[in-house]
Amino acid sequence: MNMLILASASGVRARLLREAGIRFGVRPADFDEAAIKKDLRSRGVENEGMASALAEAKALNVSKASPQNLVLGCDQVLVCGDRLFDKPHDVAEARENLHFLRGRTHSLITACTLAEEGRPVWQYQERANLAMRSFSDAFLDSYLEDSAAALSSVGCYQMEGRGAQLFEQVEGDFFAILGLPLIPLLAVLRQRGIVAA
């Protein structure tokens, strides 16, 4: 095995790995994620299963093209009630999503898969529960002025930035909320000799 490959274009995941002192390469998965989600939904896969299936699909997609490396695929889904959210396409959709989430608790499910030689060798999933406060429309207008932050994640927020102001209570691992359950990942990378024990 040569190195760890991150099968994602996520700047946040790359930053977390880099700041943890992990050497890695980046090669985003190359497939139609919307088509895979549609297929998974048609087969009755939901919530936790959706996050895990997408993380595995990303890891396997890159692992088949780079079998000598250990490949990390990750995905997150947001669930509120019986509704599953995707990243908003524009500010209007972000506003609609935040209106729905305001004053409610939602779950953010983060899944990771490590693949080697085209097969999964480790999988992990974590759920965080986040309670959004009943923020004002004026705050929402001000918040959405930074549309890049609102459009960058499934929940329209970046917890490491101004998005933290949307919440009144958060239960769960901070790294997983950002998109990468770093502590369990570091443990398996130590076991596999990718990082020093």
* Domain architecture of the chain: domains with CATH: 4-191 (3.90.950.10)
Encode pLDDT of 42-62 as tens digits. 888 877 789 999 999 999 999
Confidence category of residue 37, pLDDT binned at 50, 70, 90? confident
137 vs 132: CA distance, rounded Å:
14
Per-residue pLDDT band at 1 (split at 50, 70, 90): low
pLDDT, average across residues 162-184 = 95
> In the numeric block, which tokens belong to residue 62?
């890159």
> Could you tell me if 51 and 37 are in contact, meaning their C-beta atoms sit under 8 angstroms apart?
no
> pLDDT over 90 for what percent of the chain?
74
Q: Check 30, 32, 39, 75 and give the catalytic one.
A: 75
pLDDT score at 57: 95
Region 83-91: what's the mean pLDDT? 91
The question of whether 75 is a catalytic residue gets the answer: yes
pLDDT number for residue 76: 94
How many angstroms separate the CA atoms of 114 and 19, rounded? Answer: 20
- Residues 6 or more apart whose CB falls under 8 angstroms from that of 140 comprise 95, 98, 99, 102
- pLDDT band of residue 21 (cuts 50, 70, 90) is very high
- Average confidence score pLDDT of the chain: 93
